[in-house]
Structure 1
Amino acid sequence: MGTPPLTATDFSSAVTAIAAAFGDPTRREIYLYARSNPGGVTAAEVADHFDLHPNVARHHLDKLTGGGYLEVAVERTGRSGAGRPSKRYRVTATEVDLAIPVRHDDLLVMLLGRALALLPPDTAAAMAEDVGLEYGRLMARSMGDADHQRSFQAAMHAVADALTAHGFAAHAEKRNHELRIVSEHCPFGDAVRENPVICAVDRGLVKGMLAELYGDATAELDTTIALGDDVCVTTVEA
């Protein structure tokens, strides 16, 4: 028997927990670094490895610990054990799947792609973006604070966290004076490679969420996993 589907409440809880812990790309890398060191890591070691301030490294480690992904043991340095106590963070026994659970039906996604392929390319792209736009607005409203005015940069980070919660493994970054969303995973799987027009849904999601969280913005998909790129990059301008 397969794994039973998540209830709406369980899914929402899982998304919230994983997004809080792994929405930050540096934090995901720190978790993977800790997982590759069975003996555990200290905040000083993480700070040195990732070129971070020790307080920032400790913040990320404590976030992962609070989510139950790391456990911490206090050890004393020095031969007599009387030295300054040091916290060592180890991965818990619970295996974390960073491919966040997403409720979508592969058959329906494939059917969508085939249906869009029957339309003229411009019409298909417009339809896919419109669907993403509408759903993006709904996603933003479900956050519960969409009516609160945010800065453009804060809104971008909120969009990236929401996309991560839906399986895109996304983060916001500034590159060459442009703000952009970088998604390292596509939850639509092989269907999007067979029908790249589905990528227009991603563009719509970003525009829809930003419209609710900040205001109207333009979004252009620069690279896409569907065409063989390593990541999907969406450049956004307010």
Structure 2
Amino acid sequence: MSATLPVEHTDVSDAGTRARVLQIVASAGPVSAAELAAQLDLAPAGIRRHLGVLEDSDQIAVHGGSSGPKGRGRPARRYIVTARGQAALSHRYSELATQALRFLADTAGPDAVRGFAEMRISELEQRHGAAVRAAGDDVAARVRVLADGLAADGYAASARPVPGGTAMQLCQGHCPVQDVAHEFPQLCEAEARAFSRMLGVHVQRLATLAGGGHVCTTHIPVSNPTTPHVPVEGHPA
């Protein structure tokens, strides 16, 4: 006769299964309970229990909002991830990314982390660099174009003139790597260097979300610009 699993073990196992269910709904949704059960090799009753917990915690919802009973001839409910579910997934991905960067730092050294940060930010620079350059030599115009591009990427970015007209502040109200950058500021530093290269001036980070600020704030002079590709470390002031 098999021994009964401890409650703690059961709770951990259930949490792991629900995390996998949430990931599949995010990647394959709208998805039905039957499809989830088949993919995870779970009994229908088991998958319904996990779906119920996720639905009660507002991490998933029925696609189209149809939550009534499933009758004869009625299509099966298909589930999608909610904003709260996406937030839960982002937190788990942040934990994984942090663990991966710790491993990289321990095995290959801090230069490898910096190299990864530069590689990661190069995609953003390639995506927005042409539009920023097309704005011409007016640094303020370049900042506005960059802010618009970052806003479209989901960074909640805006460009704000500093009193006196000699500088602007590029503000970002959202950072997808905020939790990871708290331990690995190389990610923020690489982003600041990319801003400097695109804008053609030396920029200064005044605050970051990862460092506890309510927004990431980058100070950018818009008069007497220096030569493009000025290096910048991007440390918060």
TM-score bracket, normalised by the shorter chain, equals: 0.3 to 0.5
Larger radius of gyration: 2
- TM-score, normalised by the number of residues in structure 2: 0.45
Q: What TM-score do the two structures reach when normalised by structure 1?
A: 0.45
